[in-house]
């Protein structure tokens, strides 16, 4: 697979559903699990699957993503591997930014022509899962498919948000509908093993992961120059034109990090005793930037079912069901529950910490605070005696220094919350 495949990771658009986490960064650059970025997930899956030639396509707020890629994924000169950012650019053939997933790949094809390949593996930059793409490619080649779509069983309440397909007995997709309504779902049920139907998963959903034969991809683009989206246009057209479109059925853990709520729940679930997404694997590593940070230090804290990254100084009284990111500082008497603290990009000096005021505290979470159902982005300054309690009782929307999304309070990157604030 290493020599035949080029991977393309779609960075997404403006990331409005993840706002304000995407206010100053692209979706793939959003921190996750205390020390990683979302883009580390598909890149790690590629590296663990032997894919070493990877493009990341992006066009919005790409500076921090560029830095992360540059500082993380450096291959030796003998491997011929790379992870390159391809930002939207004006060319003689196109004066527009990326108009959709298919358009982004179409505009980037000329870069891939510099490398010999037979297959193009197309991935999303905002999903949490672990997959061995070699198994998907083997099925793709064994079935002599032109295109293979990774699919996953879903229940009715989720099916309306995905592309749903029906397969024949040989596993080839014969019918496809993008985000069907509840009224038409019955006719899209598929025959599923009992382990799926027992919990109501009767529908086969596209995961937004595709393997195209190189010639197939070029032919579809040439015949449909105005198509901008894979799910809405390219995949249905491939099925209608009698290309051999195979379904690769995946039954592992997979979740789409498309909204603040899904992002929050995926992170909090990592604090389970046995989380479905396994960070603790001797073979399938999740790679990220190697930082030379000291071990974290806890003093007088009760730490229960939580994830703690490196370089933290914790004096909180209790931390429960939370994710604490790199270089976090949390003061005495503070309680944190069901929250994500993304941490800091750098350490403040002792002088900077001591010079903090009530209106402009140090870059940390202060003393005697209570934080619940909250996401605190990087480099925030939370004063002493601050109370932030997310929930359905709060009004949704932008409140200036904070946002409320699905009852979750989001403190944007670099925000200042003065002493005694109540949210």
**φ, ψ of residue 86 in degrees (nearest 5):** -115, 100
Instruction: Answer whether residue 277 is part of any domain.
Output: no
Dihedral in degrees, nearest 10, Cα atoms 237, 167, 131, 212: -30
- Predicted pLDDT at 2: 53
Determine the Cα–Cα distance for residues 23 and 410; give it in Å rounded to an integer: 12
Residue 127 and residue 256 in contact, taking contact as beta carbons nearer than 8 Å: yes
Determine the Cα–Cα distance for residues 319 and 65; give it in Å rounded to an integer: 30
128 and 65, same structural domain? yes
Instruction: Answer whether residue 57 is part of any domain.
Output: yes
74 and 223, same structural domain? yes
Q: Is the pLDDT of residue 330 over 60?
A: yes
365 and 306, same structural domain? yes
Of residues 86 and 141, more confidently modeled? 141
Instruction: Answer whether residue 280 is part of any domain.
Output: no
Exposure string (b/e) for 301-337, b if CB count within 10 Å is 16 or more?
bebeebbbbbbbbbbbbbbbbbbbbbbbbbbebbbbb
- Predicted pLDDT at 408: 98
Asked which of 63-67, 250-254, 370-374 is least confident by mean pLDDT, the reply is 63-67
344 and 240, same structural domain? no
Question: In this structure, how many other beta carbons lie within 10 angstroms of the beta carbon of residue 116?
Answer: 11
Q: Each residue of 113-127: pLDDT tens digit?
A: 888 899 999 999 889
Domain edge (last residue) among 217, 249, 269: 269
DSSP annotation of 383 reads: -
**Residues whose CB falls within 8 Å of the CB of residue 19, separated by 6 or more in sequence, listed in order:** 260, 403
Determine the Cα–Cα distance for residues 371 and 409; give it in Å rounded to an integer: 10
208 and 67, same structural domain? yes
Q: Each residue of 4-44: pLDDT tens digit?
A: 899 999 987 667 889 999 998 888 999 999 999 999 999 99
pLDDT band at 108 (very low <50, low <70, confident <90, very high): confident
Of residues 15 and 351, more confidently modeled? 351
381 and 255, same structural domain? no
Domain edge (last residue) among 249, 269, 289: 269
Determine the Cα–Cα distance for residues 309 and 327; give it in Å rounded to an integer: 8
Q: Each residue of 314-325: pLDDT tens digit?
A: 999 999 999 999
Instruction: Answer whether residue 275 is part of any domain.
Output: no
Q: CATH code at 70?
A: 3.90.550.10
335-341/329-330 β-pairing:
unpaired
170 and 52, same structural domain? yes
Q: Which domain holds residue 388?
A: 297-417
Q: Is the pLDDT of residue 198 over 90?
A: no
Exposure string (b/e) for 178-201, b if CB count within 10 Å is 16 or more?
eebeeeebeebebeeeeebeeeeb
Instruction: Answer whether residue 331 is part of any domain.
Output: yes
Q: State the average pLDDT over residues 298-305.
A: 96
Sequence-ordered alpha helix ranges (H) in 167-314 = 194-197, 214-223, 235-240, 260-269
210 and 357, same structural domain? no
The upper half-sphere exposure of residue 267, i.e. CA atoms within 13 Å in the direction of its Cβ, equals 32
Q: Which two tokens stand for residue 162?
A: 């995905």
- Predicted pLDDT at 302: 96
- Predicted pLDDT at 92: 53
Instruction: Answer whether residue 289 is part of any domain.
Output: no
Q: Each residue of 50-100: pLDDT tens digit?
A: 999 999 988 777 788 889 999 999 988 778 899 998 876 555 555 566 678
Q: State the average pLDDT over residues 383-388.
A: 97
Domain edge (last residue) among 269, 286, 310: 269
Closest CA relative to residue 60, chosen from 122, 12, 9, 124: 12
Instruction: Answer whether residue 287 is part of any domain.
Output: no
The upper half-sphere exposure of residue 373, i.e. CA atoms within 13 Å in the direction of its Cβ, equals 15
- Predicted pLDDT at 89: 56
Q: CATH code at 390?
A: 2.160.10.10
- Predicted pLDDT at 1: 54
Determine the Cα–Cα distance for residues 53 and 84; give it in Å rounded to an integer: 8
Asked which of 82-96, 101-115, 213-227, 250-264 is least confident by mean pLDDT, the reply is 82-96
Determine the Cα–Cα distance for residues 64 and 84; give it in Å rounded to an integer: 14
Instruction: Answer whether residue 144 is part of any domain.
Output: yes
Total domains in the fold of the chain: 2
pLDDT band at 195 (very low <50, low <70, confident <90, very high): confident
Closest CA relative to residue 106, chosen from 272, 221, 233: 221
- Predicted pLDDT at 98: 66
Question: What mean pLDDT, rounded, does the chain reach?
Answer: 91
251 and 348, same structural domain? no
177 and 309, same structural domain? no
Q: Each residue of 332-350: pLDDT tens digit?
A: 999 999 999 999 999 999 9
218 and 132, same structural domain? yes
81 and 124, same structural domain? yes
Determine the Cα–Cα distance for residues 342 and 354; give it in Å rounded to an integer: 22
């Amino acid at each position: 697979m290493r020599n035949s495949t080029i991977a393309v990771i779609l960075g997404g658009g403006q990331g409005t559903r993840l706002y304000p986490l995407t206010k100053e960064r692209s979706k793939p650059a959003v921190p996750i699990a205390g020390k990683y970025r979302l883009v580390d997930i598909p890149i790690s899956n590629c590296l663990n699957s032997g894919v070493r030639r990877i493009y990341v396509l992006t066009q919005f707020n790409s500076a921090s993503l560029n830095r992360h890629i540059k500082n993380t994924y450096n291959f030796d000169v003998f491997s011929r591997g790379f992870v390159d950012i391809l930002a939207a650019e004006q060319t003689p053939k196109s004066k527009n930014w990326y108009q959709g997933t298919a358009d982004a790949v179409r505009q980037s094809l000329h870069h891939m022509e510099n490398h010999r390949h037979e297959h193009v593996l197309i991935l999303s930059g905002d999903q949490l899962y672990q997959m061995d793409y070699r198994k998907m490619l083997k099925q793709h080649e064994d079935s002599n498919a032109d295109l293979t779509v990774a699919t996953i069983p879903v229940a009715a309440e989720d099916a309306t948000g995905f592309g749903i397909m029906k397969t024949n007995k040989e596993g080839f997709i014969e019918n496809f509908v993008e985000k069907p309504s509840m009224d038409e779902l019955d006719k899209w049920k598929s025959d599923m093993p009992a382990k799926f139907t027992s919990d109501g998963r009767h529908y086969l959903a596209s995961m937004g992961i595709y393997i195209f034969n190189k010639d197939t991809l070029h032919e579809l683009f040439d015949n449909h120059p105005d198509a901008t989206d894979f799910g809405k246009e390219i995949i249905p057209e491939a099925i209608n034109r009698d290309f051999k479109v195979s379904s690769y059925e995946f039954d592992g853990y997979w979740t789409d990090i498309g909204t603040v709520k899904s992002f929050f729940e995926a992170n909090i679930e990592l604090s389970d005793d046995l989380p479905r997404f396994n960070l603790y694997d001797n073979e399938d590593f999740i790679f990220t930037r190697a930082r030379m940070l000291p071990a974290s230090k806890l003093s007088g804290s009760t730490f229960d079912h939580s994830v703690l990254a490196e370089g933290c100084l914790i004096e909180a009284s209790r931390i429960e069901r939370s994710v604490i990111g790199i270089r976090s500082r949390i003061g005495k008497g503070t309680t944190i529950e069901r929250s994500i603290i993304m941490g800091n990009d750098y350490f403040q000096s002792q002088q900077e910490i001591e010079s903090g005021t009530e209106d402009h505290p140090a870059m940390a979470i202060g003393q005697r605070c209570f934080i619940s159902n909250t996401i605190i982005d990087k480099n925030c300054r939370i004063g002493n005696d601050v109370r932030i309690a997310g929930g359905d009782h709060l009004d949704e929307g932008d409140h200036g220094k904070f946002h409320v999304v699905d009852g979750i309070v989001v403190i944007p990157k670099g925000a200042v919350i003065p002493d005694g604030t109540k949210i």
